Structure formats: structure tokens, C-alpha cells
């Protein structure tokens, strides 16, 4: 660069700075999109107020369905997209209708595939402008999907309506339809953290498990007590409310790993096929506030926090001041007592939970211990897990006797090992395989495996559960 070039650059820089300081005197010009909306509304669209509403990112499909229901009441309803470059994602609705220099125009509607059930999805409008009449008044509704990478955490609905009060009534109706037709209602869902980490996470639909009472072996009365609290209160909701009794309930299942806590949760899910269930575990436990909100909207609902001890000391959402565990317990409290919501918490470590529960009383009204199986429970477990095998009753008796102190999941693994041994040897499964498998699993050589699969009483064992 010679001195002339440098002078030129300096002049240009001054010019740009000055241009930025001067007010932009250009008036926004109606865009082709604006003209379309003007024809529909009968007035210049960018002079009409816009009423905006945010909807949780995971309810895009619900919003789309609700809008479809309402718009379909007008036989002349139309849906258009918006053309005009990436800017259309960042401009507000009024600027899409009238702009100083960008020419937004009707274009193709943008769709996104959204999950609507386990293994099911639908094409959902991700960016589109609905033009229809609501209660006889012309309205335009712009729907834009959340774009967390661009800082848009929620779905936005912008209602353009010339007549006063129409937008508010339309949005109220939208919420009614969203709740009535929600794809989440009646499903089992879970949140998964998005790749950007801080968002609300996306919703995953899980297949509803199928676990009957006969698939669970617990001490007498334990499962009945849990069922009465979780299912029974829901079934008697009307009668309880009539007597002024609350429906909200908190149930804690605690006991060593591998004793059937998750299995019990799965059973409760399968026994309440029409109840919306939201399952949080591990990293997704931080979505507790959002999950509680969703549960309130979707009652009757079940909100499940799996293995809460794992986050007992972790900080809450956005590293908030209080431990996540307290956030979870507070979410239980933030729900009205007359809401038919069952909270379920499972933990391997009741001792970690106890102090927190003592500081937040009233959250849990039924605590059930899921203990290690005793000899007769081990026998019942072996019978259950060996129900499709030719193993003899005497062999199961003996194995139950020998497997002192093991967990329920150990008994399951034992039968599988026996079957595997037989298969590897090319022999039909026999009692000897069971005996050998048990020798192996209880043997000192298998100390690590043994502690991993849950045999207690091993010196220095169970490194992962303490
Ligand atoms: N009480 C039980 N009755 C029958 N099977 C059990 C029981 N406990 C555990 N199992 C078997 O072990 C597996 C793992 O148990 P799980 O419920 O995940 O344990 P936990 O959640 O208490 O750690 C279950 O899927 C089931 O096959
Ligand atoms: Mg579990």
C-alpha cells in the first residue's frame, strides 16, 4: 500500500463512519409480502399491530396442528412462505411486510420433520404465513420455528389483525386447540439436551413399556402400595376432589441398584396407558422446570425423575445458586394440589436424599423401599427369569439358596449366563449349566463382574454404587 492508497482508505473509512451517523431517511416500502397481506386484511399491513406469542420449541407440531384446525374453518384459508434470504429469520414481522431495502415476497413454505410419537413423525410448518378469517375478521399469522443457534429459543407466533381483540382471542383459542390435539398428550416423552447445551432440549418419544404385575417380584404389599398411590389416586380423582382432597402425589422408590426401581416405573407406565409421562434422567434432569410446566398442561400426567442421587450435588439449570435436587423438589411444590400429577423419584442412595427431603418437607408422601431379594424372593425371581427354560425346580431352589445377598438383576443375569454356556457348548440347557454359571458369578475370579452385577458382601466390592 503506498501513501495514496492509505489516504484513500482513510477517506473511505471516514465516509462510512459518517454515513452510519446520519439518520436513514428512507421510508420502509411495502414488500410484495406486505402487499399480499394488505389485500387480505384490507388495510396497509405494516400499520396494523402485531401480537406476538412464544411457544416452547417442542410444541411446534402442536401449534401447527392447532393453526390448521382453526384456519380450516375458513374455506379460503391460505398458507404462504416467505422468500428474501436469510434476513427473513432475523427481521420482525412488520419489517417483513415493509422494509427499507429488502424485498420480502411470497415464497415456498418451509417445513421441518417433527416427531409426534414413538417412531412417528409429521411434516410441520417451520416458517409460514397463514392468511384466513377468524370470527369473520381477516388475520395473518406468521409461524417461525425456534432456531437456538440464532438465539431464538422458542417458536414465535405473530398475529396481524386490524380488528381489536381478535389477536388475543385467536391466541387463546390456539392454546385450547394445542392442548386438545397435542401430540405429546398420552405419550411417554423425555427431553434430550441439544448440541448447544443451554437450550430447552428436544423432545423424544419413547415406546410405552409393557411390564405386568407378574413380571415384578417385590416383598408383599410393596407394589400394591405404590400402585394405590400412583394409579389409585388417579382413578379416584373425581371422588377425592369432591371431598376437597389433593391429587398431587410424590412417590420415592429407593434401594440398591438392580432391585427393580426402573422396572416398577416401567410397570406404572404400562398400567396407565393414557397418562402423559415425562421422564427425566441424567443430564436431562436439568429440564425439571420445563418438564413440570409440560406435566401441568398435560394432566393427568406422570413426572419421573430417575436416579436423582446422581445430580444431588450438581448445580441447577444455568449453574443456578441451588443444587439441582432442590430445583426438582421445588418443582414438585410449584404444581397446584388439585392437578392429577404423580411425581416419581428413584434413587440408589436414600441417604443422600434424606437431608434435602427434610429441608423440603411434604414433597414425598409415599416412600417405598425396594430391597435386595430374600431367599424366597430370589426363588421367585429365578422362576420368573427361567420361565421359558427347562431348568428344574430343584436347581432353582438350590441356586436361590446359594445366591445369598445378590440383587434381582443378578438372578436374571444368572439364567442368561446359564443359557449362554449351554449355547456355546452346543448343548441343551440343563441344571448343570445353571450351577456352573452360579459358581462363575459367585467365584473370586469374577470379583469385579460380581460387584458390577450386584452381588453384595464382596470385600471392597460395589465400586460404582458407593
Ligand atoms: N424386583 C424385580 N423383579 C423382577 N425383575 C427384576 C427386579 N429387579 C430387577 N429385575 C430385573 O433386572 C433388570 C434391571 O432392574 P432395574 O429395575 O433397572 O433396577 P434398578 O432401577 O433398581 O437399578 C430389570 O429390567 C429386570 O429384568
Ligand atoms: Mg434404575
Are residues 349 and 206 located together in one domain of the fold?
yes
Say yes or no: CB of residue 226 within 6 Å of ligand 1: no
Q: Whose CA is nearest to atom 19 of ligand 1?
A: 258
Q: For 297, what's the count of Cα atoms within 13 Å in the CB-facing half-sphere?
A: 22
Q: CB neighbours (10 Å) of residue 417?
A: 19
The pLDDT of residue 466 is: 32
Are residues 47 and 136 located together in one domain of the fold?
yes
The pLDDT of residue 23 is: 76
Choose among 426, 389, 283, 22: nearest CA to 414: 389
Q: Whose CA is nearest to atom 9 of ligand 1?
A: 260
Least confident of 102-116, 357-371, 447-461: 447-461
C-alpha cell at 184: 405429546
- The CATH number given to whatever domain includes residue 290 is 3.40.50.300
Q: Whose CA is nearest to atom 4 of ligand 1?
A: 216
For residue range 71-88, list pLDDT tens digits in order.
Answer: 999 999 999 999 988 888
User: 370 vs 461, which has greater pLDDT?
Assistant: 370
Inside any domain, residue 3: no
Q: Into how many domains does the chain fold?
A: 3
Cis, bond preceding 300 (omega within 30 deg of 0): yes
Are residues 51 and 172 located together in one domain of the fold?
yes
Inside any domain, residue 6: no
Q: What is the pTM of this model?
A: 0.85
Say yes or no: CB of residue 262 within 6 Å of ligand 1: yes
User: 466 vs 178, which has greater pLDDT?
Assistant: 178
The pLDDT of residue 195 is: 54
Point out the ligand 1 atom lying closest to the alpha carbon of residue 257: 23
Please give the distance, rounded to the nearest whole angstrom, from the Cα atom of residue 277 to the centre of ligand 2.
16
Are residues 85 and 194 located together in one domain of the fold?
no
Inside any domain, residue 24: no
pLDDT at 6 over 80: yes
Instruction: Using the 3D structure, point to which of 152, 180, 208 is the last residue of a domain.
Output: 180
The pLDDT of residue 103 is: 85
Q: Whose CA is nearest to atom 20 of ligand 1?
A: 258
The pLDDT of residue 149 is: 77
Express as a percent the part of the chain with pLDDT over 90: 64
Instruction: Using the 3D structure, point to which of 180, 203, 221 is the last residue of a domain.
Output: 180
Are residues 335 and 430 located together in one domain of the fold?
no
Are residues 448 and 314 located together in one domain of the fold?
no
Please give the distance, rounded to the nearest whole angstrom, from the Cα atom of residue 305 to the centre of ligand 2.
10
Are residues 385 and 406 located together in one domain of the fold?
yes
Inside any domain, residue 17: no
Range of the domain at 45: 29-180
Beginning with the edge strand found earlier in the chain, give each strand of the sheet holding 366-369 in spatial order.
202-206, 188-192, 276-281, 301-306, 341-347, 249-254, 366-369
Point out the ligand 1 atom lying closest to the alpha carbon of residue 409: 12
Q: CA 71, CA 111: separation in Å to the nearest integer?
A: 18
The pLDDT of residue 37 is: 94
Point out the ligand 1 atom lying closest to the alpha carbon of residue 216: 3
Q: How far is CA 451 from the centre of its chain?
A: 33
Q: CA 325, CA 415: separation in Å to the nearest integer?
A: 37
Q: CA 209, CA 433: separation in Å to the nearest integer?
A: 31
pLDDT at 383 over 70: yes
pLDDT at 464 over 50: no
Q: Tell me what the mean pLDDT of segment 16-37 comes to.
A: 86
Inside any domain, residue 202: yes
Best mutation site among 222, 254, 260, 453 for ligand 1 pocket (most ligand atoms within 8 Å of CB): 260
Least confident of 35-49, 347-361, 373-387: 347-361
Q: What is the mean pLDDT of the chain?
A: 89
User: 63 vs 442, which has greater pLDDT?
Assistant: 63
Instruction: Using the 3D structure, point to which of 133, 149, 180 is the last residue of a domain.
Output: 180
Inside any domain, residue 21: no
Best mutation site among 409, 414, 452 for ligand 1 pocket (most ligand atoms within 8 Å of CB): 409
Are residues 301 and 353 located together in one domain of the fold?
yes
Are residues 384 and 277 located together in one domain of the fold?
no
Inside any domain, residue 13: no
Say yes or no: CB of residue 260 within 6 Å of ligand 1: yes
- With beta carbons less than 8 A apart as the criterion, state whether 281 and 307 touch: yes
The pLDDT of residue 461 is: 34
Instruction: Tell me the ligand closest to 211's alpha carbon.
Output: 1
Are residues 274 and 338 located together in one domain of the fold?
yes
Q: CA 334, CA 250: separation in Å to the nearest integer?
A: 13
The pLDDT of residue 465 is: 36
Choose among 265, 277, 178, 154: nearest CA to 218: 265
Are residues 253 and 383 located together in one domain of the fold?
no
- The CATH number given to whatever domain includes residue 437 is 1.10.8.60
Say yes or no: CB of residue 68 within 6 Å of ligand 1: no
Inside any domain, residue 16: no
Say yes or no: CB of residue 265 within 6 Å of ligand 1: no
- Sequence-distant (6+) residues with CB within 8 A of 238 are none
C-alpha cell at 108: 415456498
Q: CA 218, CA 223: separation in Å to the nearest integer?
A: 7
Are residues 93 and 216 located together in one domain of the fold?
no
Amino acid at each position: 500500500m503506498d501513501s495514496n492508497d492509505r489516504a484513500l482508505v482513510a477517506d473511505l473509512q471516514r465516509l462510512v463512519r459518517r454515513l452510519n451517523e446520519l439518520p436513514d431517511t428512507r421510508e420502509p416500502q411495502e414488500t410484495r409480502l406486505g402487499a399480499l397481506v394488505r389485500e387480505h386484511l384490507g388495510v396497509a399491513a405494516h400499520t396494523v399491530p402485531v401480537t406476538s406469542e412464544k411457544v416452547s420449541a417442542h410444541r411446534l407440531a402442536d401449534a401447527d396442528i392447532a393453526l390448521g384446525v382453526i384456519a380450516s374453518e375458513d374455506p379460503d384459508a391460505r398458507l404462504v412462505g416467505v422468500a428474501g434470504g436469510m434476513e427473513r429469520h432475523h427481521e420482525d414481522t412488520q419489517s417483513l411486510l415493509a422494509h427499507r431495502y429488502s424485498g420480502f415476497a411470497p415464497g415456498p413454505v418451509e417445513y421441518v420433520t417433527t416427531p409426534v410419537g414413538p417412531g412417528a413423525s409429521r411434516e410441520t410448518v417451520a416458517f409460514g404465513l397463514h392468511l384466513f378469517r377468524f370470527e369473520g375478521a381477516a388475520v395473518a399469522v406468521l409461524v417461525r420455528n425456534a432456531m437456538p443457534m440464532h438465539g431464538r429459543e422458542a417458536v414465535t407466533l405473530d398475529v396481524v389483525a386490524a380488528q381489536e381483540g381478535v389477536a388475543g382471542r385467536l391466541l387463546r383459542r390456539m392454546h385450547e386447540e394445542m392442548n386438545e390435539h397435542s401430540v405429546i398428550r398420552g405419550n411417554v416423552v423425555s427431553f434430550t439436551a441439544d448440541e448447544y447445551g443451554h437450550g430447552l432440549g428436544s423432545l423424544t418419544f419413547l415406546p410405552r413399556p409393557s411390564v405386568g404385575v407378574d413380571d415384578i417380584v417385590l416383598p408383599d404389599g410393596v407394589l400394591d402400595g405404590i400402585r394405590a398411590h400412583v394409579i389409585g389416586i388417579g382413578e379416584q380423582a373425581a371422588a377425592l376432589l369432591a371431598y376437597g382432597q389433593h391429587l398431587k402425589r410424590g412417590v420415592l422408590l429407593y434401594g440398591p441398584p438392580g432391585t427393580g426401581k426402573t422396572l416398577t416405573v416401567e410397570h406404572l407406565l404400562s398400567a396407565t396407558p393414557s397418562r402423559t409421562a415425562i421422564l427425566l434422567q441424567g443430564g436431562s434432569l436439568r429440564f425439571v422446570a420445563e418438564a413440570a410446566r409440560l406435566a401441568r398442561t398435560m394432566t393427568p400426567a406422570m413426572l419421573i425423575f430417575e436416579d436423582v442421587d446422581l445430580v444431588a450435588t450438581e448445580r441447577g439449570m444455568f449453574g443456578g445458586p441451588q443444587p439441582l435436587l432442590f430445583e426438582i423438589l421445588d418443582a414438585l411444590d410449584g404444581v397446584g394440589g388439585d392437578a392429577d400429577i404423580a411425581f416419581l423419584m428413584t434413587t440408589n442412595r436414600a441417604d443422600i436424599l434424606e437431608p434435602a427431603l427434610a429441608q423440603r418437607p411434604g414433597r414425598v408422601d409415599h416412600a417405598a423401599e425396594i430391597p435386595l431379594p430374600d431367599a424366597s424372593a430370589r426363588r421367585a425371581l429365578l422362576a420368573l427369569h427361567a420361565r421359558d427354560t427347562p431348568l428344574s425346580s430343584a436347581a432353582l431352589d438350590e441356586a436361590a439358596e446359594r445366591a445369598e445377598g445378590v440383587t434381582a438383576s443378578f438372578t436374571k443375569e444368572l439364567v442368561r449366563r446359564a443359557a449362554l454356556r449351554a449355547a456355546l457348548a452346543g448343548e441343551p440347557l440343563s441344571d448343570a449349566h445353571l450351577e456352573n454359571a452360579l459358581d462363575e458369578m459367585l467365584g473370586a475370579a469374577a470379583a469385579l463382574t460380581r460387584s458390577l452385577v450386584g452381588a453384595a458382601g464382596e470385600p471392597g466390592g460395589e465400586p460404582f454404587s458407593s
